[in-house]
């Protein structure tokens, strides 16, 4: 991410020397060459990418720009972007059309200092309730606190739905900076400046050729500056739509990225990606992240390193694998390379499979976020209050009244504003520690275009396939994991598969996870070395921390169990600082 940390001088409730504690924690995370700075009322540090990349720090006398993440300004990266941003920046009229990427930024100009994040607030900047600490590292934010306490809502959201949503974290009083505020750092505290961010207005009634041309142009505008700035780009390839569209956009901008595919032996993604590589005459590296081995005796030290590499609480809680995720991240960013991601590509598709009618935020929350069995939790869990809080965050994120019926086209905004911000925001924030990270489908201009698509074009990837074919017809013509190529309409199999999900009534969708659990134990593809000969070396098998919140003996879902093990490990690390 590069990294940022700031604390108010003379802050209350922190350790004796928060700056020293944060510096040590950033070192444990793998950062080197910290730049320390002080201005009235504040002390801070900035660290560059671990494996190299564009400059993320500009100091110009008393003025400065410090970036964590990947930022482009006026189609430039590095020093040119920082210089242009500093020159143009005025807190009351920040022109978002000139900014791209996912990032957190500190700007000090003419004696005033400001913090803000990217358009969706995806890049995570943690802060305490009193605004005394701001940190791009969760562990550093925790390490400077004298006492912390788990948040029931955040804890259950992470456990059941992989990540907390909105500004919440798994800790009370520790939040992430949302897209609705810019923070001004004053000598005696902070001031929040409210920000209203509205997606660019785009005619929703355009003809299909105009839609294709517009989406293509917006995607090119985001991708091209990154291609110009990097000699080496690593990009995924799978059997699906999103990685194919990403590759098409990179090639149109003049890149010839190094390609890779993740998956176990026999994976359809691996077979399709390598077949495309052979047909195109380019190598596609196959990486099986599970094909890593470690002896049980070495597991405790290994997990301690992974815990810090992934900032304590990665998506899916997987600090317990053999190191495949870390090795893959290092390979993606080696020698300062840009890593590109097809994440959030479902902005072009029907992500929620909901009926084509208006629904309340409560109905959306109950349909999509009720992925739990209440009996897995202790009596502290209130499923109705849990879903009510999620519904409130959904309505707030898309600017709707709390109990209003949300038009069906507006429901589509929940995916980028809520789901992508939470899930991919955490991915971006941990991945970008190593080097620059390009996720073009979360750019607000690209999203704005996608949000005008009629559902009929989103279903079965119709529009996305046509966009690929318009940009790179040869690439579109290769087979996919859907049973058809992207140069024509979707197959009957693909359309039928989506239709099966769409026709399930919302009440049945709400119960689907519980029904599957009653039929069989569940799991996910993220694995880990979860056998007792490994796990008993790193956590107390009685789960003394998580047993306050979960009935551990009833958990029959290996993905949920792994996330709870990660939370248990985090609780152990906090030790006496963790309040009841």
Dump the DSSP string for 486-533: SSSPPPHHHHHHHHHHHHS-HHHHHHHHHHHHHHS-B--TT----SHH
**Are the C-beta atoms of 345 and 246 separated by less than 8 Å?**
yes
Average pLDDT value for residue range 154-179: 97
Q: What is the DSSP string of 300-344?
A: HHHHHHHHHHTTT--GGG---SSSHHHHHHHHHHGGGPEEE--TT
Distance of CA 170 to the CA centre of its chain: 16
Q: What is the pLDDT of residues 46-82, one digit of tens each?
A: 999 999 999 999 999 999 999 999 999 999 999 999 9
**Distance of alpha carbon 62 from alpha carbon 465, whole angstroms:** 50
**Are the C-beta atoms of 322 and 568 separated by less than 8 Å?**
no
Q: Residue 535 corresponds to which tokens in the numbers above?
A: 């796990």
pTM (predicted TM-score)? 0.95
Distance of CA 438 to the CA centre of its chain: 12
Q: Give residue 299's pLDDT band: very low, low, confident or very high (50, 70, 90).
A: very high
**Are the C-beta atoms of 217 and 150 separated by less than 8 Å?**
no
Q: Percentage of the chain with pLDDT > 90?
A: 85
Q: What is the pLDDT of residues 249-289, one digit of tens each?
A: 999 999 999 999 999 888 999 999 999 999 999 999 998 88
**Are the C-beta atoms of 571 and 545 separated by less than 8 Å?**
yes
pLDDT number for residue 1: 59
Identify which of 571, 536, 314, 519 has the alpha carbon closest to the alpha carbon of residue 425: 314
Q: Residue 120 corresponds to which tokens in the numbers above?
A: 């969706």
Residues 6+ apart with CB under 8 A from 440: 219, 222, 223, 246, 249, 340, 446
């Amino acid at each position: 991410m590069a990294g940022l940390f700031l604390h108010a001088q003379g802050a209350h409730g922190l350790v004796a020397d928060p700056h020293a504690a944060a510096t040590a924690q950033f070192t444990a995370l793998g950062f080197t060459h910290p730049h320390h700075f002080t201005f009235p009322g504040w002390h801070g540090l900035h660290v560059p990418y671990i494996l190299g990349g564009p400059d993320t720090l500009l100091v110009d006398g008393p003025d400065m720009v410090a970036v964590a993440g990947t930022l482009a300004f006026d189609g430039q990266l590095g020093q040119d972007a920082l210089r242009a941003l500093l020159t143009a920046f005025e807190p009351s009229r920040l022109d978002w059309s000139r900014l791209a990427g996912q990032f957190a930024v500190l700007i000090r100009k003419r004696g005033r200092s400001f913090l803000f994040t990217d358009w969706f607030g995806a890049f995570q900047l943690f802060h305490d309730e009193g605004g005394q600490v701001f940190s791009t590292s969760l562990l550093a934010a925790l390490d400077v606190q004298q006492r912390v306490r788990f948040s029931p809502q955040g804890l259950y959201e992470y456990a059941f739905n992989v990540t907390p949503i909105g500004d919440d974290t798994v800790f009370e009083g520790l939040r992430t900076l949302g897209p609705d505020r810019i923070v001004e750092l004053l000598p005696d505290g902070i001031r929040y400046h409210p920000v209203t961010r509205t997606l660019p207005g785009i005619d929703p009634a355009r003809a299909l050729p105009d839609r294709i041309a517009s989406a293509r142009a917006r995607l090119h505008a985001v991708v091209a500056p990154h291609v110009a700035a990097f000699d080496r780009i690593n990009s995924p390839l799978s059997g699906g739509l999103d990685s194919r569209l990403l590759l098409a956009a990179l090639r149109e901008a003049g890149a010839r990225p190094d390609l890779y595919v993740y998956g176990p032996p026999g994976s359809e993604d691996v077979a399709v990606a390598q077949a495309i590589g052979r047909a195109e005459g380019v190598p596609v590296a196959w990486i099986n992240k599970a094909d890593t081995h470690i002896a049980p005796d070495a597991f405790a030290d290994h997990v301690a390193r992974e815990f810090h590499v992934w900032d304590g609480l990665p998506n899916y809680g997987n600090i317990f694998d053999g190191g495949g995720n870390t090795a893959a991240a290092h390979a993606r960013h080696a020698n300062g390379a840009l890593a590109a991601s097809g994440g959030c590509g479902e902005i072009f598709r029907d992500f929620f499979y909901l009926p084509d009618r208006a629904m309340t935020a409560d109905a959306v929350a109950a349909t999509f976020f009720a992925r739990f069995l209440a009996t897995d939790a202790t009596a502290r869990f209130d499923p109705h209050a849990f879903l009510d809080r999620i519904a409130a965050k959904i309505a707030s994120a898309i600017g709707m009244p709390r109990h209003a019926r949300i038009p069906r086209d507006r429901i589509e905004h929940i995916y980028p504003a809520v789901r992508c911000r939470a899930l991919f925001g955490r991915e971006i924030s941990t991945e970008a520690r190593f080097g620059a990270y390009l996720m073009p489908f979360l750019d607000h201009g690209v999203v704005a275009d996608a949000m005008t698509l009629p559902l009929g074009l989103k279903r079965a990837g119709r529009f996305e396939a046509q966009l690929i074919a318009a940009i790179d017809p040869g690439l579109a013509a290769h087979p996919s994991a859907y049973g058809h190529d992207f140069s024509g309409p979707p197959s009957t199999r693909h359309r039928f598969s989506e239709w099966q999900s769409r026709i399930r009534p919302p009440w049945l969708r709400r119960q689907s996870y519980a029904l599957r659990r009653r039929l069989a134990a569940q799991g996910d593809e993220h694995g880990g070395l979860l056998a007792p000969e490994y796990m008993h070396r790193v956590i107390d098998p009685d789960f003394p921390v998580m047993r306050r919140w979960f009935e551990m003996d009833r958990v029959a879902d290996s993905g949920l169990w792994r996330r709870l093990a990660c939370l248990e490990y985090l609780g152990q690390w906090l030790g006496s600082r963790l309040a009841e």
